[in-house]
Homo-oligomer: A and B are copies of this chain.
Amino acid sequence: MKHKHIRQRVFFIISKAEEGDRASRAFDLTIMALIVLSVTAIVLQSFENLALRFANWFTAFECVTVAVFTLEYAARIWTADLLYPNAEHPRLKYILSPMALVDLCAILPFYLPFLGFDMRFLRLVRLFRLLRMFKLGRYSEALQTVVAVMKESASQLIISILMCLFIMLSSAIIMYTVENPVQPEQFPNVIASLWWAICTLTTVGYGDVYPVTAIGRLFASIISLVGIGIIAIPTGIIAAGFSKAIGQTTQTKQEPKSYCPYCGKKLE
């Protein structure tokens, strides 16, 4: 009886905080702070002198973080049957859920040092856990609108990405054919040429690779202009999506009219 009670209490603490539940709120804030600090540690550790100087501190902090995250992970598995009361295998279901896999990726690298290569960057996935934070607070409605617009325009956006990939591959092959004999170092193969195509179509233009032949430049000019379209089409799609979403919001929010706006007649 008592065991069950403790488990229920743990479940409420690690679940999303309800108003008034201080322990749950404190738990949420602790986890968030640990995530932010953990990512900050990744950034700081990339500075060689800091990494050497405070090596012990970083290791200690990493141990604490992983310990907390492991405990949390274990607690979530332990209380999985409260999260999925109707599932046949609630713990397996939880372990295979995307959120739990992210949580696992965030701690696994620590336990697998014998794999031999640096997997510490996997700690990055902890950032994804911050996404839950967006669900809370005042920006949740705006986030929903952004996501809804992206979803509604999804198939049109995918088509424009496919068109984009098609143009990229075509222009990479043409550019390779044209520029390879003159600049074998810059355009050694189609994959390298693809790098140029992407840099140009997205108008990033680092300037590490660019055509030098007349025909290559002519072709690059056409591709650059096409690049404007490549940017314009998804922008247009998204703009139209937002226009519609904002329009709908306005319409939904309008109070029901009590009279015809045109005839002035009363509506029953």
Contact = CB atoms under 8 A, between A and B. Distances in A.
Given A124-B173, A162-B134, A224 B204 contact: yes
Contact of A155 (B139, B221, B240, B250): B139
Chain A interface SS verdict (over half): helix
A20 to B, nearest CB: 26
B264 A262 contact: no
A146 to B, nearest CB: 6
Given A121-B177, A205-B206, A243 B239 contact: yes
A199 B173 contact: no
A18 interface: no
Contacts of A235: 228, 231-232, 235-236, 238-239
A112 interface: no
Contacts of A264: 260, 265, 267-268
B174 A121 contact: yes
Interface stretch (A25-33, A38-46, A98-106): A38-46
Interface in A196-231: 198-200, 202-208, 210, 214, 217, 221, 224-225, 227-231
A250 B244 contact: yes
Contacts of A244: 243, 246-247, 250
Interface stretch (A9-17, A73-81, A163-171): A163-171
A interface residue count range (under 10 / 10 to 19 / 20 to 34 / 35 or more)? 35 or more
B130 A166 contact: yes
A39 B194 CA distance: 14
Among the interface residues A189, A202, A230, A265, which one has the most CB atoms of the partner chain B within 10 A? A202
Given A207-B205, A230-B228, A236-B239, A158 B170 contact: no
A131 B227 CA distance: 20
A189 B42 contact: no
22 contacts: A46-B180, A120-B177, A121-B176, A138-B155, A139-B162, A142-B155, A146-B156, A149-B236, A156-B242, A195-B217, A206-B207, A231-B232, A232-B234, A232-B239, A235-B236, A239-B240, A240-B242, A241-B242, A244-B250, A257-B262, A262-B267, A263-B263
Given A127-B170, A239-B240, A240-B245, 5 more contacts: A46-B193, A142-B159, A195-B217, A205-B207, A235-B238
The 7 closest A-B pairs by CB, nearest first: A236-B238, A240-B242, A264-B267, A207-B207, A236-B239, A204-B205, A142-B155
